[in-house]
Amino acid sequence: MSDPMLSIVLARKPETTATALETALRAETETLRAAGWTATAAIAVEPDPFVGTAHGAAVPARVDALLSLHLPDPPPLAELAGVVADVAARLGDQIDPGRCAAVHGVEHTVIDGDGPLQISFALRRRPTMSHEQFSDYWLNTHGRMAKEAPRRKTRTGYRQLHADLDASRTIAQTAGLCRVAYDGLVSSDHVDAERMRKIFSHPAVAETALADERTFIDHRSSAIGLLRRLDG
C-alpha cells in the first residue's frame, strides 16, 4: 500500500520543555483538523530510550516530534507549502526552524500494523549514492530485511516515506525550515520503550540491520527518536 504524505520533522528549542511542545502540538493538530486536514502528531518519549544502543551511538541527532498530513487527494504544492509555513509560524516559540525539515512524498507500508509508540528515523543517504539508488535499495533490499526482524512477532507496522526532494525543498524554503532535505522517513511501531530497547539490542537489528543500513544511510546526518502518538 502506498499513500501520499507530508511529515514535518520537528526539533524543539533548547529552552522549550517537552510539555510545552506537546501542548502546542495538540493545539496545532486540532487547528489543522478543523481546517479539513487529516493530521496526526507524535512527541519524543523521555528519557531517551536510544541511549546505550548501537543506533543511538550511530545517529547523534534526535527527532523531538513529528507532525504529519495524510493526503489521499494531494493539493497543489503551493497550498501545502503555505500550510507548513503557517504551522511553522504558530509553533515558532517552541521549535528551532533551522533544525526542522519537511518530508513530502509517498509512504509505502512494508508491514501493516499499529502501536502506541513509533520510531521515527529521518534518513539522509550516503553521498556516494543518488536519491534514486537510495530509494530502490531501501525499499527493495532493506525493506525485505524488516520483514524478518523480531518486530514481526509483535504485529506492529513498518512504513517508509520516500521523499520527493524537489517538493520537500520547496516546502522547506517557503516555511523557513532546513533546506537540506531528508531522503526518507522510517516509521516503525512499538508497544513500549522497554520492548523497543530489546528489539534494538537483538543481533538482527543491532548488528545485521545496522551493518546493512551503513551501505546506504549517512547516520551522522540523520535523526532518530521513539515517539508517543498524540491521539485525541
Q: Any idea where the domains of the chain sit in the sequence?
A: 2-229
The confidence score (pLDDT) of residue 156 equals 80
The confidence score (pLDDT) of residue 110 equals 95
The confidence score (pLDDT) of residue 17 equals 97
Q: What is the CA radius of gyration of the chain?
A: 16
d(CA 179, CA 205): 31
Is a pLDDT exceeding 80 seen at residue 148? Answer: no
Instruction: Report the residue count for the chain.
Output: 232
Give the contacts of 65 (CB within 8 A, at least 6 positions apart).
10, 12, 21, 22, 25, 41, 42, 43, 44, 227
- Evaluate the CA torsion angle 4, 188, 45, 209 in order and state its sign: negative
The confidence score (pLDDT) of residue 150 equals 56
Mean pLDDT to the nearest integer, 93-115:
96
Per cent of the chain over pLDDT 90 is 89
**For residue range 69-85, what is the model confidence (pLDDT) as tens digits?**
999 999 999 999 999 99
Mean pLDDT to the nearest integer, 196-201:
92
The confidence score (pLDDT) of residue 218 equals 98
Name the least confident of 74-88, 135-149, 208-222: 135-149
Is a pLDDT exceeding 90 seen at residue 153? Answer: no
**Global pTM value:** 0.95
Confidence of residue 193 (pLDDT cuts 50, 70, 90): very high
The confidence score (pLDDT) of residue 1 equals 85
- CATH (residue range 2-229): 3.30.70.100
